[in-house]
């Protein structure tokens, strides 16, 4: 099969011919129909996350149709369309797994990081971690829901029952979860790069009550803020915008260092929380919601061989919504 592989952090992906994957016991192999390009992929490629395996095929927003089953797989069938998300394996035995917090598993495996992902024509995955997908979405438009949507949803849940929500960094995740928040009756404010009038118009078109730059203050105090941009200075800046008892949720797997800030900005029972990975329960809950509520994703398709261009465009903010590779 053809695949885009990373051989060393900081290098361009190489378009190569590699052996087709073969399913082990408990696994499936899918023909990749679409694979979203996530900012976590960019962190891996750029070396902002330490390498776990080399070479590696990135990609963890994988939409595929099953072409082969390993022994012991009974709940999925050849021909079925499934999603392969970031969490590819959890041990099921550590204290976190025992507490139904498999997102914090001590010995996890992640798709496109520890095991080959979806920047390829075929991909293998543990059947137990695949997600059956609603049929009402096309392959490309549902791909971003597998990480941007799932992490956005987990972050939204972590923000709590709020009235006014700020979304800091309006990319793939924010443009999905703002639709969920608006449907729930929340007032949503979007914060984009300063001067990004097109991004602010995009946010308003999806139901945000107000949109401005990260250099602007919110029109009113926030009950919670979710930070999707990987910029540590946004944490103390967001603390200044949340009311007493409010929460700042850091949604990314990587963020630059948080600068020193006065204790007075945290006082008043304000909280800073991080969101790590996802669980299979998150997947079931979110895709049940997506089946009920039509979530519109804005996607820019790229050919598999153009994955480096997609990553560069993501790095430089050249599109609204999400990039998706279509082999």
**Structural domain of 45:** 2-147+278-326
**Phi and psi dihedrals of 2, rounded to 5?**
-90, 140
Alpha-carbon 94 to chain mean position: 25
- Angle between helical axes of 39-46 and 307-315 (0-180°, round to 10): 100
117 shares its domain with 228: no
88 shares its domain with 178: no
Instruction: CATH number of the domain at 50, please.
Output: 3.90.180.10
Inter-residue contact 271 to 5 (CB < 8 Å)? no
Per DSSP bridges, beta strands 271-274 and 131-132 are: unpaired
- At a CB cut-off of 8 Å and minimum separation 6, what does 205 contact? none
**Residue whose C-alpha is closest to residue 44's, from 6, 16, 15:** 6
18 shares its domain with 124: yes
Q: Which structure tokens are listed for 80?
A: 């079925």
Report the sign of the C-alpha dihedral through residues 136, 140, 143, 149, in that order. negative
293 shares its domain with 179: no
184 shares its domain with 131: no
258 shares its domain with 292: no
153 shares its domain with 263: yes
Instruction: CATH number of the domain at 224, please.
Output: 3.40.50.720
- What's the chain's Rg over C-alpha atoms? 19
Q: Which helix H or strand E contains 69, and what residues bound it?
A: strand 61-69
Residue 7 DSSP class: -
54 shares its domain with 133: yes
Return the pLDDT at 172.
94
Return the pLDDT at 282.
96
Q: Which residues of 211-243 are buried (b: 16+ CB within 10 A; e: fewer)?
A: bbebeeebeeebbbbbbbbbbeebbbbbbbbbe
206 shares its domain with 315: no
Alpha-carbon 181 to chain mean position: 17
**Phi and psi dihedrals of 124, rounded to 5?**
-105, 150
**Phi and psi dihedrals of 303, rounded to 5?**
-70, 155
For the chain, strand residue ranges (E) read 2-5, 14-17, 27-37, 61-69, 81-84, 87-89, 109-110, 122-126, 131-132, 164-168, 187-192, 210-213, 222-227, 242-250, 271-274, 299-303, 322-326
177 shares its domain with 116: no
pLDDT of the chain along its 327 residues, tens only? 999 999 999 999 999 999 999 999 999 999 999 999 999 999 999 999 999 999 999 999 999 999 999 999 999 999 999 999 999 999 999 999 999 999 999 999 999 999 999 999 999 999 999 999 999 999 999 999 999 999 999 999 999 999 999 999 999 999 999 999 999 999 999 999 999 999 999 999 999 999 999 999 999 999 999 999 999 999 999 999 999 999 999 999 999 999 999 999 999 999 999 999 999 999 999 999 999 999 999 999 999 999 999 999 999 999 999 999 999
Inter-residue contact 78 to 66 (CB < 8 Å)? yes
**Residue whose C-alpha is closest to residue 40's, from 140, 141, 173:** 173
Report the sign of the C-alpha dihedral through residues 103, 118, 36, 25, in that order. negative
Q: Report the number of distinct structural domains present in the chain.
A: 2
**Residue whose C-alpha is closest to residue 310's, from 55, 5, 13:** 13
137 shares its domain with 284: yes
**3-state SS class at 86:** coil
175 shares its domain with 264: yes
According to DSSP H, which parts of 227-306 are helical?
A: 234-239, 263-266, 280-292
Return the pLDDT at 27.
98
């Amino acid at each position: 099969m053809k695949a885009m592989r990373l051989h060393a952090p900081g290098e361009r992906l190489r378009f190569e011919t590699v052996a087709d994957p073969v399913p082990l016991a408990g696994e499936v192999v899918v023909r990749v129909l679409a694979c979203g390009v996530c900012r976590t992929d960019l962190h891996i490629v750029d070396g902002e996350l330490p390498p776990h395996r080399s070479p590696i095929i990135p990609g963890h927003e994988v939409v595929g149709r099953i072409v082969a089953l390993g022994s012991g797989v009974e709940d999925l069938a050849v021909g079925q369309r499934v999603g392969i998300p970031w969490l590819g394996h959890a041990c099921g035995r550590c204290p976190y797994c025992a507490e139904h917090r498999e997102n914090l598993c001590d010995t996890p495996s992640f798709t496109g990081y520890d095991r080959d992902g979806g920047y390829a024509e075929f991909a293998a995955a543990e059947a137990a971690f695949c997600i059956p997908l609603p049929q009402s979405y096309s392959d490309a438009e549902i791909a971003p829901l597998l990480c941007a949507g799932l992490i956005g949803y987990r972050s939204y849940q972590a923000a709590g029952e709020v009235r006014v929500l700020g979304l800091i960094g309006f990319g793939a995740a924010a443009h999905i979860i703002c639709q969920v928040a608006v449907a729930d009756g929340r007032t949503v404010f979007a914060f984009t790069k300063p001067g990004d009038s097109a991004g602010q118009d995009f946010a308003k078109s999806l139901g945000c009550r107000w949109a401005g730059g990260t250099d602007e203050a919110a029109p009113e105090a926030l009950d919670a803020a979710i930070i999707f941009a990987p910029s540590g200075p946004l944490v103390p800046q967001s603390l200044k915008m949340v009311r007493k008892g409010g929460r700042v949720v850091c949604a990314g797997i990587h963020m630059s260092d948080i600068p020193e800030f006065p204790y007075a900005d945290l006082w008043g029972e304000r909280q800073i929380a991080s969101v790590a990975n996802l669980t299979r329960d998150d997947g079931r809950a979110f895709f049940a919601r997506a089946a009920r509520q039509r979530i519109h994703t804005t996607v820019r398709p790229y050919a598999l061989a153009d994955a480096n261009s997609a990553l560069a465009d993501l790095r430089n903010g050249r599109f609204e919504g999400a990039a998706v590779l279509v082999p």
